[in-house]
Amino acid sequence: MAKIQPLSALSEEVQNAWIKQRVTNIIKSYHNAADVIAEPIQNAVDEVLAADGIDGPGQVTVVLDTDQNRISVIDNGRGISTTEITKYLAPDIGTKRKAFHEGWVRGHKGVGMTFLVYGFDFFELESKTLTGEHYRVRLEGGRSWIADELSDAEPPEGNLEHLQAGEGTLASHGTRVTIALGPRTEPRELKRAFPTAEFATVALQNQTAIGIVEPPQVRKKRDLVASLEYIADAKKKRISVDTQFRYPHKGLDASLKVFDLDAWFRSSRRTHPAARDNKAYHACYITFGPKELKTLLSEQDVGENLTTVQEVHEYIDQHQVHVYAMFSNSAKYRDRLGELWNSPKNRVLHAPRLRVATDGMISSWSREVTLTHRGFNVDRTWLMYQLRGVEPDMGRKDFPPDLHDFLQLSEDRIANEVATLSKPFLRPSKQRPNAPLEGYVLPAVKAHERRQLPLANSVIPGYPQISFQTEPQCEQDVIALFGELVGLGILRHFKPVFFSGFDHYDSYFDYVPNEVSEIVVQKLPGEHEIDPRDSSGVAEFKLTGDSLLDDLLTGKKRWEDMKFLVCWTAGRPSTEKGGDEITFQRADDSTSRQFHGVTHLATLQSAGVRNIFVIALSDLLSKLTEQH
C-alpha cells in the first residue's frame, strides 16, 4: 500500500500565500483600539509576574508619545535571547500554555507579537537578558506587506543589531517594545484614541492586564508596579497607575454615595437598613461567590451546553466563578462616573455593561445586560464575571461556548438579585415633575413648526401621495416613513418581522426579491438572485447614517450583527471618532447594490471589507421621482 503526503503538492508560492493569509487573519481579529496597548502590556505583565530570577517588584512602564504617534512598553523582566526572538515573532508559536493552565500568565495563544510586527509599519524590540545579551530588532513595512494585494509579495525582513555598553535605552535587564501608528493602522492617531493622560490611565486600568481583576486570586511571584508616561505638545506627564481593576464604585467624590452590601451582610444581622442607611445611596454593589451562585441558580437556569443544574454547579466550581454586581436607580451616577474618570461619552469604560475577566485579565468584550423582562433598568446595572481556567479574550469574541451559555442563563438572576438587595438602601428615582420639562414644546406648536418642513418628493409615480407630511427629524419619523413605503408597496420586498424600541436592534427584515415594485427595479435595481442565506438580517434605523458610529463605539451595537441600515440621509461621507471610521459610498450599480432599493454601502475601518446595505430614504425618494 502506497503512502501519500497531500501537503507535498503545495508549491512554495502557495505556502507563502497561505502564511500571509494566516497573518492577515490575525491582524483582522483585533477590532478594539485598546488592543494596540493591551497586547504588549499583557506580554510585559505576564513576564514580570511569573518570571524567576528577578529581584524586587515587577515594573511595567507604558509610554504614549502622541507627538511621534508611537507606543512603547518597557518591563524589567528577564529579557528575550536572540535564539528565541525569531520564533516569538512568528504566528501561533507560544511557550506559555502550561503556565497559563497553572494560573501564572494570561496570554498564551502566540499571536500577540505577530499582531505588533505585521499590524504596524514600524516595530522595534530592544532586549537585555539576565546573562547580559543586549540587542535590538527593527522591522519596517509589516502593515504595508499585509495591505499588498499580491499574495506572492515577499515579507519584509528585520534587522538584528547587537548593542554595546552605553547603547540602547535599557539600563538593566528587561524588554522594550515600540510600535508606530499610521494611516493603515487601527487606531491611526494615538491622540484620538487616548486624548488625555487621565483617560489613558483609566484605559490601562480597565482594558489591559495592568488592571488585574480579583477574585479569583491571580498567581504571581512579585508585586506589580506600573506607570504611564504621556507625551503631548513636547510635554511629558508621568502618572503612577493603580494595578487593580477600577470597579465602578471606585474613583468617586462626595457627590456619589455607594453602599457595600458585602460588608453589610458580613457585619449586620439586621433585615432592614439602619435609619442612616435607609434610601441614602446612589448605588449598591456585592460579589457573589461560588456558594452564593449555586444557591441563586435554580433548576430553570440551564442552557444549551450546560443542560442540568449539576453541570451548571460543576462549571461554577471548576472555574471558581465570582460575579461582581452593582445597581443604581440614578442616571446621575452613570453620567457622573464618566466625568470623574475623565472617560469620553463614546467609550464603555464606565458604562453599565456585562464584562468578563478570565484569569485576572479584563476582556475588552462587553455588551448591555440582557434581561428577559425590563423590571429593572439594564442601563444602570454593572456585572463583572470573574473566572479561572478560561482562555482570555481581548475583544475577538472567542470565549468558549460554555462561558457564553453561563452568561446567558445567570445574568437575569444576578441582575434581579442585586437590584432587589439594593432597593432598601437606594435613593428612589426622581418622579417626573408636574411642570413641563426643559425644552418641552406643546404638541400643536411642534406640529406648526414641523409643517414648515414639508416632505419633499411626496408623490411617487403610480402610487398615492405619501401620508407622512413632514421631513423626518428623528429616528421614529424614519421608522414611520419606511413603514408607509412598505405599506404602499414601494418597498414591499423588505418585510419587517418586528420593530422594537427595547431590543438591542430596531428591526429584522425578510427580503423577498420577487415582490419588488417595478419602479424600484427601474431606478435602483439589485441582483435578481440572492443567496437564500443572505435573504434576511438585522436592520437598524437612524436619522442620519453616520450616527451609527456612536453606538458602535459604546458597544451598544456590533457591526457584524447588522445587514441593513435605514436612515433619512447617510450623513457625512466619512466620520472618524474614537479611533474608528465609518464611510458611506453611493451604490451605483446592481452588483454593488445587491438588494433592490439600496442607495449606499457603509464600511467600518475596523471591520475590514464587510459592508452594511443602506437605504437613505431621502435619496430613495429623489431617485424614484426623477423624470429621466
Note the pLDDT tens digit of each residue in 598-626.
Answer: 999 999 987 777 899 999 999 999 999 98
pLDDT band of 176, cuts 50, 70, 90: very high
Domain boundaries, the chain: 9-241, 258-422, 455-624
pLDDT band of 441, cuts 50, 70, 90: confident
Residue 403, C-alpha cell as written in the block: 462561558
Note the pLDDT tens digit of each residue in 87-145.
Answer: 777 654 555 556 555 565 665 555 567 778 888 899 999 999 999 999 999 999 888 88
Could you give the CA distance from residue 47 to residue 79 in angstroms, rounded to a whole number?
A: 9
CB contact set of 324 (below 8 Å; sequence gap of 6+): 247, 285, 286, 287, 382, 383, 384, 386
Q: Is the pLDDT of residue 351 over 70?
A: yes
Q: Which helix (H) or strand (E) holds 410?
A: helix 401-422
Residue 623, C-alpha cell as written in the block: 431617485
What average pLDDT does the segment 483-496 reach?
95
What is the reported pLDDT for 107? 59
In one-letter notation, the amino acid at residue 116 is L
Phi, psi of 538 (to 5 degrees): -70, 140
Tell me what the pLDDT averaged over the chain comes to: 85
Could you give the CA distance from residue 368 to residue 415 in angstroms, rounded to a whole number?
A: 12
What is the reported pLDDT for 83? 85
Least confident of 23-32, 196-205, 219-228, 416-425: 23-32
More confident residue, 164 or 270: 164
Could you give the CA distance from residue 111 to residue 93 in angstroms, rounded to a whole number?
A: 7
Note the pLDDT tens digit of each residue in 458-480.
Answer: 999 999 999 999 999 999 999 99
Could you give the CA distance from residue 470 to residue 452 in angstroms, rounded to a whole number?
A: 8
Q: Among the ranges 38-52, 78-92, 393-407, which has the highest mean pLDDT value? A: 38-52
Percent of the chain at pLDDT exceeding 70: 84
Q: How many residues comprise the chain?
A: 628
Of 407, 333, 400, 341, which is closest to residue 368 (Cα–Cα)? 407
What is the reported pLDDT for 156? 82
Q: Is the pLDDT of residue 320 over 80?
A: yes
Note the pLDDT tens digit of each residue in 511-563.
Answer: 999 999 999 999 999 988 887 778 899 999 999 999 999 888 877 788 988 99
Which residue shows C-alpha cell 445586560? 369
CB contact set of 476 (below 8 Å; sequence gap of 6+): none
pLDDT band of 505, cuts 50, 70, 90: confident
Could you give the CA distance from residue 35 to residue 57 in angstroms, rounded to a whole number?
A: 25
Could you give the CA distance from residue 53 to residue 61 in angstroms, rounded to a whole number?
A: 20
Helix (H, G, I), strand (E, B) or coil at 148: coil
Residue 290, C-alpha cell as written in the block: 461560588
Could you give the CA distance from residue 46 to residue 101 in angstroms, rounded to a whole number?
A: 13
More confident residue, 59 or 185: 59
Least confident of 268-282, 304-318, 340-354: 340-354
How many beta carbons lie within 10 A of that of residue 253, not counting itself? 8
pLDDT band of 4, cuts 50, 70, 90: very low
What is the reported pLDDT for 91? 59
- Would you give the DSSP letter of residue 229? E
Could you give the CA distance from residue 468 to residue 458 in angstroms, rounded to a whole number?
A: 8
- Characterize 42-78 residue by residue with b for buried, 16 or more Cβ atoms within 10 angstroms of its Cβ, and e for exposed: bbbbbbbbbbeebeeebbbbbbbbbeebbbbbbbbbb
Note the pLDDT tens digit of each residue in 387-409.
Answer: 988 876 544 556 888 998 999 99
Query: How many angstroms separate the Cα of 69 from the Cα of each of 66, 188, 231, 478, 606?
Result: 5, 9, 10, 41, 19
In one-letter notation, the amino acid at residue 204 is L
What is the reported pLDDT for 84? 84
Q: Give the per-residue SS3 of 182-216.
A: CCCCCCCCHHHHCCCHHHHHHHHHHHCCCCECCCC
Instruction: Quote the radius of gyration of the chain (alpha carbons, Å).
Output: 28
In one-letter notation, the amino acid at residue 281 is Y
Of 254, 258, 252, which is closest to residue 340 (Cα–Cα)? 252
pLDDT band of 289, cuts 50, 70, 90: very high
Helix (H, G, I), strand (E, B) or coil at 233: coil
Q: Is the pLDDT of residue 381 over 70?
A: yes
Q: Is the pLDDT of residue 55 over 50?
A: yes
Residue 232, C-alpha cell as written in the block: 503631548
What is the reported pLDDT for 151? 57
**What is the secondary structure of 247-266 as a DSSP string?**
-TTSS--TT--EEEHHHHHH
> Which CATH architecture describes the domain 9-241?
2-Layer Sandwich (3.30)
Answer yes or no: are the C-beta atoms of 273 and 424 closer than 8 Å. yes
What is the reported pLDDT for 149? 66
Q: Is the pLDDT of residue 31 over 80?
A: no
Phi, psi of 417 (to 5 degrees): -65, -45
Cα dihedral 194, 199, 203, 206, rounded to 10, equals -160
Note the pLDDT tens digit of each residue in 249-280.
Answer: 998 988 899 999 999 988 876 667 888 889 99
Could you give the CA distance from residue 568 to residue 472 in angstroms, rounded to a whole number?
A: 7
**What is the secondary structure of 553-584 as a DSSP string?**
HHTSS-GGGEEEEEEEE---SEEEETTEEEEE
Could you give the CA distance from residue 395 to residue 383 in angstroms, rounded to a whole number?
A: 17
Helix (H, G, I), strand (E, B) or coil at 592: helix
Could you give the CA distance from residue 272 to residue 336 in angstroms, rounded to a whole number?
A: 28
Of 350, 35, 40, which is closest to residue 193 (Cα–Cα)? 35
Could you give the CA distance from residue 82 to residue 135 in angstroms, rounded to a whole number?
A: 8
